[in-house]
Structure 1
Amino acid sequence: MSQPLVPRLPLELFINILTFLPRAYLSDVSTVSHLFHDLVSPLLFSTFRFHPGVQIEISESGTRLRWELDRLEFWSSDAIAPLVRKSFISLYCTKITANPEDSSPVGTAVCEAISRFKNLRSLSCNFANRRVDLLALRVQGLAHLQRLEINAGRLSPPRNPTAAMTLSIAHFSYTEMPELVVSNSPYLTMLDPARLYSLELSPFHPRALDNFLGDGSAIVMFHKLRTLRLTFRNTDFTRVHASIAHFPAVRELVVHINGSCLPDTIPTTPLVRHLESYKGPAVLLPLILAGSAPEELVVTQGSAAEVLEGLRTATHPDFVTSLSMGVKLHADIRQSTVLQDIFSLCPSLTRLALEVSSDGGRRSDDDGFGATTLAERLVEIILVHQGLETLVLRWRLGWEASLVPRRSELETILRRKIPVFRHVLFSGGPGISAS
């Protein structure tokens, strides 16, 4: 007599195994028994993706529209909706408004489905350039929602925000921000300052960021926010300072600038006293490092000379333990002392990452400069600082790729010269030896 299929192993182990199975296999496993069906269902329905396409969005009737509406109804059913943890929505021709007459059948059904995902943790939406009313999106009642990402939607202005109208979420992202209607209340007031932990804002329209943040004159500070990612378009120190000033408790700051940044007068009020990590262009270092003491610096734009200048104006460059930056092979490594000067300002540095790129000029092998001499020069530079533990080199030398020294030889020399040194890591670039 056959025995019912009962796992002989703990259910936790089965769940761990099922987690790594492709979605197509999960459907098959769920048919084995009621037990496996119950184990698989939370994994099978944990993520909901809805990308109906333009033709479906603009349809008023038809088989395809009916199919998509039935699909939304299934996912928002009492049996399935509580299992959804993540959702990805893409609507290119649909407005999300509180007025049913101004919304398509698809838009209305999507908002209804979202409101039923009571255990939803993360919602990512792409609304192209269409109007989006956050209240109409119906996420206020989702008690477990932690992350909301909106791409390209044209947010409606806040309506005299109250506690009932603010979004109480930990992570908010708004990218490809189009032109926003100027509002008496900044769009930032739609977010709950007592809950917001991380914020990402990236504008497409030049004034979108200013309109979203407001001038700061009548807004509550976000003292709980720890991670801030901002993109600016042709800006200056004054605007950058005003934008970041809303968030005095930031620990991790990431800044990207499309265009130029005018280094005008640095405001006297320190920006981010508790900063632990900065990633962004070197031009902002005098502004960011005034009054702060970050341990990690990742310089994404700017020369080594700009990095040195920024560190010289810093309040506590001696707190920096990790530095990533780009350097030129000849101008910065072969001919200059800029790296030694940087090391002298950062005595606590334990990790250094350099992206080494070619800066043109004559071929190095014409004057005897090769892989061996480059390795010797790197060792000479690094020996200025006896506390370094890790060196990461990313090579972008193009036709000078033959100058790249052997990693193992460079590592051996540095270990012999610096007692605490541990390893050299190479990354990127064709023709680079791994040893």
Structure 2
Amino acid sequence: MQDSQIGIIGAGVVGLSTALWLQKAGYQVTLIDKELPGMGASFGNAGLFADYARLPFARFSMMRKMPGLLMDSSSPLSMHSNYIPKLLPYGWRFFKACFADNYAKGKIALSQLHQHTVQADETLLRISGAQDLIKAQGCLGLFADQQDFQNAQQGDLLERRQQGVNLEFLNAGQVADLEPDLAAFHAGGVFYPDTRFTVSPLGLCRRYAEHFTGNGGKILRDQALSVTPKIPGVSVKLTDETLEFDHLVICAGVASKELLTPLGVKMPMVSERGYHLTLDLGEKQLQRPVGWLDKSVFLTPMAGGVRLAGTAEFAAADAPLDESKAQTMLEHAKVMLGETPHITSTWVGSRPSTPDSLPVIGPLQRYPQISLGFGHGHLGLTFGAVTGQLISCAIQGEPGAVDLTPFAPERFN
């Protein structure tokens, strides 16, 4: 095992986590990414370890809302017209995933992953010395309308409680006690006391990278152009050279699809872009992430200011930033805070979104020397560590804590 060479394409939080687990198991590991570690989608997330996120997005109640959301310029959902052809295979699979049996299976699969996330996170945080970047202050999700809040208590929130999520319902006064600097725009909400967050997603990735390289791991700043399975092993063509590995793990987010298509692997994964604004709130303070669930935006207190993150924009990964989206998010923040905050930076990045809301984890059946770890959507940070642990177990031929069948790449065939 000590002599086995493993390559990982993608140095986001999933790729870095996988690298740490494989290095811990004794493998020689090389990370490949055209960007610096943590500079892709991992850079821009809301910073939450979202222990409550156990319901697939793919459900008929969500489908019924979509036409209205797409017609509303202030809603969190939008799509570029030139991206619609790429959404057709995704849309068909999304529709199939909404059926009751498939939705129920998705809930079980997500819950099984969640059962092992905290322990996996704690292992990587400890060995990388990154515990100081994590805060355990819980998380608030708020509703502007009392009827919407009541409906959620009998709907999504009830389902989460039945799955074992620790949550409490709070009225407007109780919310104000927790976060006195919020405006009184809400009718109350849900408090998740066990939810943790990071004050720096990029800082966390850098700690992982520093531990990795400090223990003999290699990071190559280059672009993986193609992947060729061999007997044995696999080769990866870079800009000016080709590298040979005993095993390869692809954790490249949306870019993974382009690498797999020439191998005959069909992946109905799309680019779901998220935005964030870094805000200076002046004298106002937040103690924890606060979400306005009607608008799907979160305010998270971080080291460099408060991050306002959200939206689901289906568009090409390299499409330019839409200033109107940023402005809409700012308007939401204004309502939440009761005043217009100062913007210090704006960012857009592309999440890898699968139609059934489940990540892709595990080896390819046709090419078992290639493993996959991507498609986490909004939950890359939440599931990064446990994904790496499961991939490491699979490569070692050991049983993992979670059955990988629901996450298998071949489920889309």
TM-score band by shorter chain is under 0.3
Whose Rg is larger?
1
Quick one: higher RCO (CA 8 Å, sep 6+), 1 or 2?
Answer: 2
Which structure shows the higher helix fraction? Answer: 2
In the superposition, the TM-score normalised over structure 2's length comes to 0.19
